[in-house]
Amino acid sequence: MAAIQPGWIETAARHLIRRSWSDPIWSSKSGQAFCYERGVLYGLPIYVQRRVPLAPRDPVEARRMFILHALVQDDWSGTAGDRPFGFVAHNRKLIESIRKLEERIRRPDLLVDEEFLYAWFEARLPAVISDPRQLRAWLDHGGDEADLRLTRETLLRKQAEGVQSEAFPAEIEIRGVKYALEYRFEPGERDDGVTMIVPLALLNQVDAERCEWLIPGLLAEKVQALAKRLPQRQRRHLVPLPAYAAAFVQRRGGHRIEGGLIEAMRGDIRECHGIDTLASDFRPDTLPPHLFFNFRVVDEHGRRLGHGRHLEALRAEHGEAARTAFRDAFAAVADQLRPRADGTATALVGDGGTEGSAGGGSGARGPGGRGGRAAGVHATDGAGARPGNGERDGSDAAIVDGRLEVPVNTRFRRWPIDALPELLEIRAPGAASSMVGFPAFVDCGDAIRIDVFDEAPVAREQHLAGVRRLLVIALREPLKAIARHVPDAQKLVISYARIDTDDALWRDFGQAVLLRAVGDAGDPVTREAFERLLEQVRPRLSLIAAELGRTLQQVLDEYGAALRKVQSVSAGAREPHVLAALDDIREQLGELVYPGFLVRTPPEAFGHLTRYLKAVVLRLERVRADPARVEQQRRDHALLQAEYNKLRRARRGVPDPELDRFRWLLEELRVSLYAQNLRTPMPVSFKRLRRMLDSLRPG
């Protein structure tokens, strides 16, 4: 028997086939509804699951699905053939803007629901339309596309009236640079809240205190959350907390003042309620994550390098790379630097003196690209430089036609310019913001060079060292003869031999004398100020050298006594607490006296070294007197020392005067613990130092 093809039956007996339809489905590609058709001849299935358009079979359901899926849920291409519908792009943009606003203000209830949108489109769309082709035909023959354009008022619920998107900006400006912001409302997710996009080159320039203030739309919530974490005896003066938070924001006009948010709240509470608080009382570490910026560090191509809510941790991880990226970006455009009247400078690059800056990395209008030169401040190619090592004895940097001209890679042995600008600013053609650098003299060992840094404290520290180098060069003859002014110089050399060579002694001794002669006037930025400083320093060298020599000899004598005492106690020591104390003392001695300590120890701390060393001897004399107490004190001190070391590492070499002060208070604490008869110049205890340490932690 020959086989029968179902298609033959369908062709020959089409009028006898009974058809049924089921399972309506939506097609995003074609923008219309389909269903599955089944054909039966006298109970025999001819075909099944044939996909056919739904509109000819069930126009009401087809229209419903078109409105729901295409117009409400936007699950289609928005075109009829090759012709796009203008109202679709308009509606998409408007709905997306409201969804972004929901993310920003953390309210997922602004946009009207699908039922409202369905009713809105159904009332405006003719009953015969159920697919893009019919919609296009209607619009081409008298239909008005404006009838299908949604408005902001239509899409927003009534309770959202008065919401100000300006309180949730798309970008934030810090120190003249604009950083893009992204918003997400997903509690529990790592990027919940506000994300600031930070180009790597600008990582070290982000103001951590400014970031405490977050954005205007979340400031009141953050203030209320911080106030809520105060101890009850202080918090009760601020109730109701929402009213206090709103008043705090209003008193500041919705904007920050100088300093961090917590410090501003402390001042506000003191001023308005007469209550003193500590920074640690606010417990910022317990706040919800969305009340802190999430920082996303990106390279010049927008690729993510790191992210997190702790700016200091990101700087610890990427700080060196950020400095390199900054200097490369700055060098790529800082060919000519024009000082401003206010002491800052603007870079001029390109032909015709066009103001310029490095290209913006993803997320910021400002520098983000990497340049090709390694030096920081360049204006010429070194024309006229001495052949060979590129070193110059004269003042080869100059202001010419309003431009700061500095030969590339040039080292100077005299003050190189009339006045060093406080800031250097570079702006690219058409850019909305600029990159700011901090120029400084950098010590090269036997000369200085001019460089630019991304952090003011680092620049100042480098500049101090650079100025000292210029002083050493200018005063090299008086400093060579300095040993003649030191009493018992030969004894000093012998005592110092256990630490370093006699050459190192006199080199460091000369710098230490100079450091004390300069005092607080050691960071001049003009030639006139430097020459004035030189004249002030020169006549003081001999007297300071004599006094420093006597103090150094006392330090070395006490250091020798401490070493002998350590050796004596070590002989035959077996007790665990004694061995632990000896290890601690050896580490302490290594931090007090070491090669270079003459220069690195602050002058105000140097005079106390003899007392610290005497305290070491007294501690060793009493190490066996009360073993349990002595060991507990050592452990408590070690905890403070470890936390100090952690904070110091987090600073990544950036100077911190308060942290420096804490380091020497740790030595005073040892004196108060083990040698009370030597006394301390200020009250010191574990409790006081713990509170100070808490205040030094980043908010």
Point out the least confidently predicted range of 188-192, 339-343, 557-561. 339-343
- 330 near 423, Cβ under 8 Å? no
- 284 near 226, Cβ under 8 Å? yes
For 584, the token pair is 């601690």
**Tokens 């209003």 belong to which residue?**
250
Strongest mean pLDDT among 413-427, 460-474, 515-529: 460-474
- 206 near 311, Cβ under 8 Å? yes
CB burial class (10 A; 0-12, 13-18, 19+) of residue 691? Answer: middle
The model's pTM: 0.59
Question: Is residue 298 scored above 70 in pLDDT?
Answer: yes
Residues 6+ apart with CB under 8 A from 188: none
pLDDT at 426 (0 to 100): 66
What whole-number distance in Å separates Cα of residue 669 and Cα of residue 644?
Answer: 14
% of the chain with per-residue pLDDT over 90? 25
The angle formed by the CA atoms of residues 350, 352 and 356, to the nearest 5 degrees, is 40
- 356 near 429, Cβ under 8 Å? yes
Mean pLDDT across the chain: 81
For residues 179-193, give the mean pLDDT.
Answer: 86
- Max CA separation in the chain (angstroms): 130
Q: Which is more confidently placed, 48 or 608?
A: 608
Question: Is residue 361 scored above 70 in pLDDT?
Answer: no
Q: Which is more confidently placed, 450 or 164?
A: 450
Cis peptide before 24 (omega within 30 of 0): no
What whole-number distance in Å separates Cα of residue 337 and Cα of residue 334?
Answer: 6
Point out the least confidently predicted range of 34-48, 265-279, 286-300, 665-679. 34-48
pLDDT at 386 (0 to 100): 38
Q: Which of 632, 635, 661 is nearest to 648 (CA)?
A: 661
- Split at pLDDT 50, 70, 90, the class of 254 is low
Q: Transcribe 485-535 into DSSP letters.
A: GSTTHHHHHHHHTTTS-HHHHHHHHHHHHHHHHHGGG----BHHHHHHHHH
Point out the least confidently predicted range of 306-320, 340-354, 458-472, 484-498. 340-354
Question: Is residue 374 scored above 60 in pLDDT?
Answer: no
Question: Is residue 45 scored above 80 in pLDDT?
Answer: yes
